[in-house]
Amino acid sequence: MDRDDSSPKMGLQVEVDSKSGFCYGVIKAVRQAENFLKNNSHIYSLGAIVHNDTELARLENLGMKIIQHSDIERIEDVDIFIRAHGEPPSTYKRAAERGLVVMDCTCPVVLKLQERIRKGYRQVKERGGTLLIFGKKGHAEVNGLIGQVDGDAVIIEREEDLNSIDFSRALTIFSQTTMDTVHYSAIISSIKRRVSEAGGDSGKFEYHNTICRQVSSRHPHLRLYCGKHDVIIFVSGGQSSNGRVLFETCRSVNARAYKIESSKDLDISWFNPGETVGVCGATSTPMWQLNEIAEIIRNY
């Protein structure tokens, strides 16, 4: 809804959350792409570099093109960019076979997790057990993680996914970096209970806290931040996994928290004169976009 230009300003007090903006892994990947594009007309990103259409449009203007895995079969003589989520080994292998140069911007936190998964897999297999990955099925990071073990792991997205597991055997679980810590704790508790009910040995169940601190540390902060403001505007792309999880935290504290993808989704009827408004976002939402949205709201 647009404001009538003749109406008085609402005098909203707008604060941008200084702890929002890109996480370390996304900053690093975007900088590398920008630097490359200073001297090259194009770069081909395997999947969207960030789950944020506004930032993607900016990078596409600089020369970034988004390609899919199937495109590897047809492109020639180009550099392909691997985003912060990482990729399975099969992607590197196929790119090498096709003679493509890979610019690898996998986040160091994800690289470390991939290494831990390979090691955890070897150990649990030696004990005749199963590797579990707590994550979103089909998410790019999860595809990269399960690819480390040739797909020989079970993805646990929700409680029901545990029903097919043999709890009498050894189990090891890791989490996708952007999952919700509370949900992960609940899944771990459920596995412990099921191991005990199956008469299994609890010592054979290993769980690893591999949720990225760049995401997990935002939850307690957002709880405080959202409690301080009358209205919260949370900015995130629709595909962002951490955006969905972080927004749930905002909503649990402030019933007047609204999730938007861009300034086009703002609605003036959400605000009352003189209120305080907090503007925050996902780890894939750039600070420049939060500042732009805050400025629009200040002018209501």
Summarize as ranges the residues that interact with ligand SF4 (CB under 6 A): 23-26, 84, 107, 109-110, 177-178, 212, 214-215, 283
- Return all residues near 98 (Cβ < 8 A) that are at least 6 apart: 72, 73, 75, 76
CB atoms within 10 A of CB 9: 10
Angle of helix 241-253 relative to helix 218-228, nearest 10 degrees, comes to: 40
Tell me the residue length of the chain.
300
Least distance to ligand SF4, CB of residue 133, Å: 15
Query: What distance in Å separates the CA atoms of residue 176 and residue 180, rounded to the nearest whole number?
Result: 9
What distance in Å separates the CA atoms of residue 159 and residue 82, rounded to the nearest whole number?
Answer: 32
CB of 86 to ligand SF4, least distance (A): 9
Contact 218, 248 (CB under 8 A): no
34 noted as active-site residue = no
Pick the catalytic residue: 55, 87, 141, 157? 141
The pair of three-digit structure tokens given for residue 79, joined into one six-digit string: 């550099």
Q: How far apart are CA 240 and CA 139, in angstroms?
A: 10
- Residue closer to ligand SF4 by CB (options 87, 277) is 87
Residues 6+ apart with CB under 8 A from 96: 102
Name the minimum Å distance from CB 85 to ligand SF4.
7
CB of 30 within 8 A of CB of 49? yes
Q: How far is the CB of 155 from ligand SF4 (least distance, A)?
A: 18
Least separation in angstroms between CB 106 and ligand SF4: 9
Three-state SS across 9-27?
Answer: CCCCEEEECCCCCCCHHHH
Q: How many CA atoms lie within 13 Å of 147's alpha carbon, on the beta-carbon side?
A: 18
Residues with active-site annotation: 141
